[in-house]
Amino acid sequence: MILTADEKAMLKGAEGEAVRRALHYQRQVGQFFGAQRMVPITNAHMMGDIEVLGDAGLAFLEEMRILGARARIPITTNARCIDFDWAERLGQDSGECAKERKVIATLQAMDIMTTDTCINYQTLYQPHLGERVAWGDTGTCIYANSVFGARTNFESGPAALAASVTGRVPDYGYQLDRHRRGTFLVDASRATLPDLADWGAMGRLIGEHRQNYYAVPVITGIARAPLADELKHLGCALASYGSMAMFHMPGVTPEAPSVEAACGGTVPRGQPLVVDDAAIEAVYRGYPTGDGAARLVVFSGPQLSLFEIRQLAAMFDGRRVASGSSVFLTSGNGVLSAARKLGYLKPLEEAGVAVLEGVCFYILQNLSQMREANGWRTLVSNSAKIVNIIGAHRFHTVLRRTAICVEVACTGRLPEHAA
């Protein structure tokens, strides 16, 4: 790996021990992937909450802070595992809550902006074509690469932190032109995609078809201009089921003026993967529904936009969450503040929906214990990502369209044969 004079000095400790360690770590990662150099970045986004950090991660952060780690570019944080206003009601552990406060204080002491949102790309920062950033979670990465044409790899917490401390990332993967070309075609011309869940279901079908970080689907035949929330659910599902970091949509995404351009001039041979209405209906039918009882409905993972909350507010208006059922909605502070001001939260809260701030449902501290204490078995959501990602907590999950989710919330039952 060829380093600049500045980088060589950093590795010798010229900018302190925290910078030396961060760059040393980044160089090891870069060497694994055969990176030739480091490249400067403008923005970072990191995951760091006590549920995933554990005591070892918190100790690591505290050590970095004491060693003098400071972000030299703006860095924001992803959703966390505790909304302190809800912790007691949800039976979350007070010791872990105290540690989470310590995490937040430690991050802030390193000049990290604790924004606690996984939809930074909708609410905080929109990088331009070719701009290099260091983002995680995966939903933020695939949106940055695909919709903005910015450049990022999946940067996990320690990697994004290191990137903010050095202002650089190793030049590999999606930083390089050669990995950004489409590798297979998807024909979605017979998919109607009326609901956000359909976009997630499409993401599942494409993601499971090629589970590979370097697979880049080129999705053709989308009949109308997709909305940001639709691309969000598509991207999150592609990343979740396929570990994918980029897609092209000719005529929609900036590096795909045409199918040929998206593929770097040579269109991949072979039949395209067909995603049509029948395939999407089959996704819905594929979730076992058991005896039909469904006592938990979740609108989260990714956090909701103001537009999604407005839609749910209208759907829950005048209705009540079924007795014995729980319904959760999560978003970031910015979106929820606006939703409160615009009156969208009132009908949701009156219906009995729990509105949580700065968290994502699947990472909630104590979730397995919460599931047992509440007797939750089946989790219904319109997010294809969350029904996939929450598996280790032993939920039985069902993907359904938004209106059905609201129906389940208010009746406690899954309607038969309906998506």
Note the residues at the interface with other proteins (CB under 8 A). 25, 28-29, 32-34, 47-48, 52-57, 60, 78, 136-138, 153-159, 172-173, 211-214, 239-241, 243, 245, 362, 368, 388-392, 394, 396
Rounded CA separation 210/196 (Å): 22
Residue among 86, 113, 91, 103 at smallest CA distance from 51: 103
Residue whose token pair is 């480091």: 38
Counting beta carbons within 10 angstroms of the beta carbon of residue 98, is it exposed (0 to 12), middle (13 to 18) or buried (19 or more)?
Answer: exposed
- Please state the closest distance from residue 313 (CB atom) to other proteins, in A: 30
CB of residue 395 vs other proteins: minimum separation in angstroms?
8
- Residue 129's nearest CA partner among 151, 159, 152 is 151
Taking the complex as a whole, how short is the minimal distance between the CB of residue 383 and other proteins, in angstroms? Answer: 14
CB of 5 to other proteins, least distance (A): 25
Residue number with CB closer to other proteins (4 or 368):
368
- SS3 call for 408: helix
Q: CB 77 → other proteins: shortest distance, Å?
A: 12
Query: Which residues fall within 8 angstroms of residue 367, CB to CB, at 6 or more apart?
Result: 361, 390, 393
Q: Are 14 and 161 in contact (CB under 8 A)?
A: no
- The single residue listed with the structure tokens 């691309």 is 231
In the complex, the smallest distance separating the C-beta of residue 52 from other proteins, rounded to whole angstroms, is 5
Q: Note whether 49 and 82 are within 8 A (CB).
A: yes
Nearer to other proteins, 54 or 130 (CB): 54
Nearer to other proteins, 102 or 396 (CB): 396
For 205, other C-beta atoms within 10 Å of its C-beta total 25
Q: Is the Cβ of residue 346 or residue 394 nearer to other proteins in the bound state?
A: 394
Nearer to other proteins, 185 or 387 (CB): 387
With respect to other proteins, which residue has the nearer C-beta, 267 or 370? 370
Q: What is the C-alpha separation between 196 and 382, in angstroms, rounded?
A: 7
Query: CB 345 → other proteins: shortest distance, Å?
Result: 29
In the complex, what is the shortest distance from the CB of residue 288 to other proteins, in angstroms, rounded to a whole number? 10
Are the C-beta atoms of residues 173 and 33 closer than 8 Å to each other? yes
Number of Cβ atoms within 10 Å of the Cβ of 105? 13
Name residue, tokens 């009746």. Answer: 411
Q: How far is the CB of 340 from other proteins (least distance, A)?
A: 29
Q: Please report which residue ranges of 243-332 form alpha helices under DSSP H.
A: 259-262, 277-285, 306-316
Q: How many CA atoms lie within 13 A of 48 on its CB side?
A: 35
Is the dihedral angle over the CA atoms 349, 352, 400, 404 positive or is it negative?
A: negative
Catalogue the E-assigned strands of 251-305: 273-274, 296-299
174 or 328, CB closer to other proteins? 174
Place of tokens 């360690």: 21
Q: In the complex, what is the shortest distance from the CB of residue 221 to other proteins, in angstroms, rounded to a whole number?
A: 27
Classify 109 in phi/psi space as left (phi over 0), alpha (psi -120 to 50) or beta: alpha
156 or 337: CB nearest other proteins: 156
Nearer to other proteins, 64 or 345 (CB): 64
Closer residue to other proteins, CB minimum distance, 51 or 407? 51
